[in-house]
Structure 1
Amino acid sequence: DIMDSREAKLTAEEGKTYGARYRLGLANNHLADIVAEQIKGDVLPIGLMANCNGLMGMLAGHQRSGPTKKPLRVGLVWIDAHGDFNTPETSLSGMMGGMPVAISTGHCLHHIRRTSGLEPPLPTKYVTMVGVRDTDPMEQYRIDSFDIPQITVDDIKRLSQAIDMEMDRLSRITDVIYVHVDMDILDPEDIPGAGLPVANGPTADELGEALSVMFEYSSAKGFGIASYPWRRDPERKSLKSVYRLVEGVIEGIKNR
């Protein structure tokens, strides 16, 4: 059942403040409050985001969902065709949308992270990447240098032990886990209209089954979906893919 449905919004006064990045941080902070309240109320937050720049708010909400003011240790399962681990110095495009994981791990644009309320930043060992297959050269160098664990598309398709191994690992070293999906992780056939499509991804059914495995772990406390191309989905095929992923999450929780 849907227990609560809310939108993270700026106040009228905040909307007048200077700087789009500062306003992004403020909006993320509001999102974090909603997420934290839902987790504390034993409700699974499902974030529906226009893009991945809401990551900091989702993580901050998990971080502040504990019984005291002490921030919880948050694990991140990053499911995206792109690593989003660029910094302004390494990005070929300069898009901030390719930087949320780097921001959240304290590698750049600290003012956005701090305004979002994500403090401290996540250690990179708290991150697992899934299905990443389209990166900038220096971004890939950074991913390799920090030895960020990778679950491949083939692992998803085969439901390999790599999924359980990484969920076990994150469950041991963190308090809660947030699972984030950018819809471009899927094969373009299942996400028509994707803004940044990448070939050779999993189907929605395959990823739904992998999500079911992940959410059998009680440490998985929140789920987020970004980049649903609603303006370019006249036949609602992409929306059906979204539903399939959410179904997988619910199946996993029921199997706990």
Structure 2
Amino acid sequence: MEMNPLQGRTVAIVGAGGGIGQATARALAAQGASLALGSRGEPALRELTETLAASGASAAYRTVDVTKEAEVRSFFAWAQEAFGELDVLVNAAGLSIPAQLSEMPEEDYSRTFDVNVKGSFLCAKHFIPCVDRERGGLIVHTGSMAAKRANAGAPLYCSAKAAVNMLSQGLALQLIERRIRVTTVNPGATDTQFWGDRQVPRDKFMTAADVADVIACVVAMSPRIVVHEINFESFAFFK
């Protein structure tokens, strides 16, 4: 049985500083992938990279703000210089600002769409040239079940994640000739720092590791298979 199905493959993960991104880094490192890790927060990235390296994984990091094109361009240039051509992009950067729409300042709208939608666009844009044309590659965008079911507490987040889903669908069509597949994973409620101090039923939520397992399955699939999107949530909500 093959113990390291991702050996020889390089994965760039943005939003790797915590939550789903960090759990995904651990899951993919365990399967043998080399990791180029990016996020805004340097301490968390450094700690994660050191932990992975201590376990024998090949990992390096660089801070990046996914809303700034110059930083995104620089991140992927660094990743390609450090690892060579890239195979997979996992975009796990995300943001939600819960509030009544009538009380939200305009900058909250801009921030929500910049991180979730613009960040997905910029990361995909600068990942594409890093992929070998013959070998092909994979982009995994982290969406949300909020894109499928409206949430009265976060209408902007729902809208932004719906936009990520549609961006992925259109991008998948554009990249057929480039041999790059595009998948959106839409997890339900997940117990991460994403929720802050909000009073939510965390005992019914998935863990970040649960979501990372789904992403790892997509990454490890045969390049002959295109998974357009995966919608999933905690079984506890059905009890």
TM-score tier after normalising by the smaller chain length: 0.3 to 0.5
TM-score relative to the length of structure 2? 0.36
Greater percentage in strand = 2
- With normalisation by structure 1, the TM-score equals 0.34
